[in-house]
Structure 1
Amino acid sequence: MNPTLRDAVVGAWELVSFVARDETTGEDRQPLGTAPRGLILYTADGHMSAQLAEADMSGYVAYGGRFSADEDTSTLHHDVTVSMMPELLAQPQFRHASVDGDLLTLSASRTDDTGARTRSTLVWRRATPATEL
């Protein structure tokens, strides 16, 4: 039997890539550069925490709170309770999620004040267990 999405994401994941695509022009950009750093944690009791930064640790972003999974739509719901970015506190954050082996892909679309739509895709690799360090 395949694990549920919620069960599959529990654990620690390290950021591999972060690409933001302008859905009008198709242009890709890498908001945190070509070698972003990051760690996202999902706990069995329903908490999550994410930290992301550029390779030199500038452009640092962190947020956390509770999470739930909608198995029917493959969507993770991040109920952010603490964040360096106040806009993440304003409304629940939804991430389309897929797990393929040791890779977790999270994506979300956003429309800015000008109507420009951006789809961000973050790929995470399951972190090496601390017992193997």
Structure 2
Amino acid sequence: MTSLKNELVGTWKLLSYIEVPIGGDDSLFPMGKAPYGILMYSPDGFMSVQISKEERLLYKSNDKMMATQEEMVSSLQGYIAFCGRYKVDNNNAVVSYIIKSSLFPNWKNQIQRRKIDFEGDILYLKSTEPILSDGAYVNSYMTWQRIDRSIDDFFEESVLGEYTALK
């Protein structure tokens, strides 16, 4: 039997992120309907996730420390990031995150759990306990697709393509 950890290890791109209020209200899209995200699970038990809204404000300054209040709010409210250790419970199909660093400092040293389900190269993650989001308790539903590309493909398309265009 293959362990769920072996199936999780790798890099995943976000397809959708939806929050469903536990009170039965309409579903929410806190990062918009076209968010960008990357989720990574390493074989040695570390994980990292980054999710961003597409429409965050650009800073007027090129100095990341010189943002206006409006730019900082847009930046913070339009981004989710945390990393730490993870552990998989094969019997219950649950992954637990032991968060060591987070953009939202209240999550540091907290544990969050996600129910795991797979369909081919698609990973479905659902929060097992509601979280507070914009004043309401919600369950989060995320759909991820495995990225199956070599680092050479990335450099060839992204870095080298941009470098060549500049010449």
Say yes or no: TM over 0.5.
Answer: yes
| 1:40 aligned partner, one-letter code | L
Shift of 1:131: 4.9
- Per the alignment, residue 92 of structure 1 pairs with 111
Aligned-pair RMSD on alpha carbons?
A: 2.0
Tell me which of the two structures has the higher relative contact order, counting C-alpha pairs closer than 8 angstroms and 6 or more residues apart.
Answer: 1
d(CA) in 2 for partners of 1:98, 1:91 = 23
| 1:129 aligned partner, one-letter code | R
Runs of 4+ in 1 over 3 A off after TM superposition: none
> Contact conserved, 2:100 with 2:109, CA < 8 A, in 1?
no
- Per the alignment, residue 7 of structure 1 pairs with 6
> Contact conserved, 1:41 with 1:49, CA < 8 A, in 2?
yes
More helix by share: 2
Unaligned runs of 5+ in 1: none
- Per the alignment, residue 24 of structure 2 pairs with 25
**Identity in percent:** 30
2:5 alignment partner, SS class: helix
| 1:80 aligned partner, one-letter code | I
> Contact conserved, 2:98 with 2:109, CA < 8 A, in 1?
no
| 2:117 aligned partner, one-letter code | S
d(CA) in 2 for partners of 1:110, 1:84 = 19
Q: Please, which of 124, 138, 141 is the counterpart of residue 118 of structure 1?
A: 138
Shift of 1:4: 1.2
- Per the alignment, residue 56 of structure 1 pairs with 55
- Per the alignment, residue 63 of structure 2 pairs with none
Deviation readout 1:91-129 (Å, 9 max, x if unpaired): 21111111221011111131549x953111000000131
d(CA) in 2 for partners of 1:37, 1:116 = 23
1:31 alignment partner, SS class: coil
Shift of 1:60: 1.7
| 1:47 aligned partner, one-letter code | F
> Contact conserved, 1:9 with 1:99, CA < 8 A, in 2?
no
TM-score, normalised relative to structure 2 = 0.72
